[in-house]
Amino acid sequence: MKKTVLGLAVTAVVALTGCQNTASTTTPVAAEQVQPSFSEFSNNFIEALWKNSPEWSQYAGYGKYDHILTVPDAANRQKQIAFAKAQLALLQQFDVNSLSTSDKIDYYLVENLLEKTLWSINEFKSWQWNPSNYNVAGGFAKIINGRFESDDEKVAKVLKKLENVPAYYQAAKNNIDTPTLEFTQLAIGQNKGALSVLNDKLGEKAAKSNLSDADKALFSKRLDLAVAAINEYINYLSQLEKQLVADGNARSFRIGEALYEQKFAFDIQSGYSAKEMNAKAIADKDRVFAEMIKITDKLWPKYFANKAKPQSDRDAVAGLINHLAKKHVKRDDFVDEIKAQIPDLEKFIVEKDLITLDAEKPLVVRETPEYMRGFAGASISAPGPYDKKENTYYNVTPLDNMTDEQAESYLREYNHWILQILNIHEAIPGHYTQLVYSNESPSLIKSILGNGAMIEGWAVYTERMMLEEGYGDFEPEMWLMYYKWNLRVICNTILDYGIQVNNMTKEEGLDLLMNQAFQERTEAEGKWRRATLSQVQLTSYYSGYREIYDHREAQKKKLGNDFDLKQFHETFLSYGSAPVKYVKQLMQ
């Protein structure tokens, strides 16, 4: 399970693909047979899932089906539907109320996945309108960049996987029907990128491998056909793009209220509707902005004794933030400073008795390995479900490859205060701590289908909780920066809902981000683009956070003097990475 790189979110990749030679792997339970236990069901389900979705199994690190490339044609969709229905029938043989708490959550996670599969194929249909669904590069790159196999082993897998590439792109062309312009353009760019994976170097690797001469010839032929198929797909999309522009009949990237609510329900698995969540975000934006104005009024004379505060609140807040951002670490100290902060966070948590930290599982802070770089920033690498023995790392990328100007802008963004909030979010007691707890209620289902909104929501929740408990000594500067950081999460929700449901224009979107959330134009433009190429995902941070926070406040009210923050945290995390709405039910 891989966590976030600054601002980029964890996406649960639901690969709606399957291998072509799967016979049904599930055995119907005859009346006289004993009902399998839930753990037997879970194990069978996962094995069947991987067999049915080889591409997904490859990303989970399962390893057995890496050489398979699924042709995404109509027959495959029928197979996926049959799989989902058969597994749902097996699942529904269990009485959910008779299951243990942990199994109950697994039940809901599996049910959600299977129902989402049916909905995606039958209702959402992005297989028709999103040409960027089709790109073979990822699976090949994953084999080629693998760290545990020899070149000979890799080449053998690639040879098998190449076979279906032409059929794959033929099926893609057959599927596409009135796509969005944005996804068409994205697909063109990304498939051009695919050519850098299936390149001459790969051919040379095969030529030098221990394949037989016949297989070497086959490899070369298949590679040529694959490259031709990708080029043909790019040409097809380029023609299509011209036609969509000329005719003005591309599909809108806005999915509309009905589909949005459905997708929100499947992806976030929230106790609120998307509409309710958006209303909460709008109220939070106003509340947070009002707090920022109060802090600015208070701090202005401290920093600008001889300068009048601007008339506009917005300008005053922005002016103060810009001024404060100058306080940051030196570029060469970036990694060391993060390392140094982790023990401080631990100490604070112990002192305030906020949550038990497992001393036997220390967090390893390291410089991001070269092969993982590409973004500056920080991320958590947790072992996947099939390599549990690995450490959990806090990867921090040094600013080595930045120009002075880039480094300065980056350090101003991750200034003295924000850097501490980042460490809370990524490490302690954010993602890293949540992971340690999550691993204590181990279930393969949860580690594969864990709820992204809960995971991100927890990290965002801890930022605020730590400040409320006095981390940073209630320094107003710290709160101001926190609010700016939090506004980003809030506005992502408003932007996504606004764009997808309420026809928000680009002008309105940029105004929201730049004038109401203090973002730079480049960041705002990038966010706008991302919001036209995804739906719901941008809301996951805020949704999870809001739901956890509301739940805590409700518990406080209910328990009065008996409420204990540490106990709340530990109970909350004890259910694994489960959707907040189920944790809520189970805690009641």
Binding site for Zn ion (CB under 5 A): 4, 456, 459
- 363: closest CA among 334, 339, 335, 384? 339
Residue for token pair 């599996």: 110
Least separation, in Å, of the C-beta of 332 and Zn ion? 13
Largest CA distance in the chain: 87
State how far the Cα of 454 lies from the Cα of 461, in Å rounded to an integer.
10
Least separation, in Å, of the C-beta of 279 and Zn ion? 24
β pairing state of 378-381 and 364-367: unpaired
What are the tokens at 414? 């991750």
Closer to Zn ion by CB, 408 or 523: give it: 408
Least separation, in Å, of the C-beta of 545 and Zn ion? 10
Cβ neighbours for 512, distance < 8 A, ≥ 6 positions apart: 491, 494, 495, 498, 504
What are the tokens at 221? 């032929």
Closer to Zn ion by CB, 377 or 498: give it: 377
State how far the Cα of 572 lies from the Cα of 434, in Å rounded to an integer.
10
Cross-strand bridge partners of residue 560: none
Least separation, in Å, of the C-beta of 420 and Zn ion? 15
Closer to Zn ion by CB, 121 or 487: give it: 487
Of the chain, the end-to-end C-alpha distance in Å amounts to 29
State how far the Cα of 454 lies from the Cα of 540, in Å rounded to an integer.
8
What are the tokens at 408? 């300065």
What are the tokens at 53? 């979705």
Query: Would you tell me how many other CB atoms lie within 10 Å of the CB of residue 59?
Result: 16
- Contact (CB, 8 A) for 135 and 190: yes
State how far the Cα of 270 lies from the Cα of 273, in Å rounded to an integer.
7
Closer to Zn ion by CB, 66 or 463: give it: 463
Least separation, in Å, of the C-beta of 393 and Zn ion? 15
Least separation, in Å, of the C-beta of 56 and Zn ion? 22
Closer to Zn ion by CB, 221 or 327: give it: 327
Least separation, in Å, of the C-beta of 412 and Zn ion? 6
**Residue number of the CB atom closest to Zn ion:** 4
Least separation, in Å, of the C-beta of 106 and Zn ion? 24
What are the tokens at 526? 């990038």
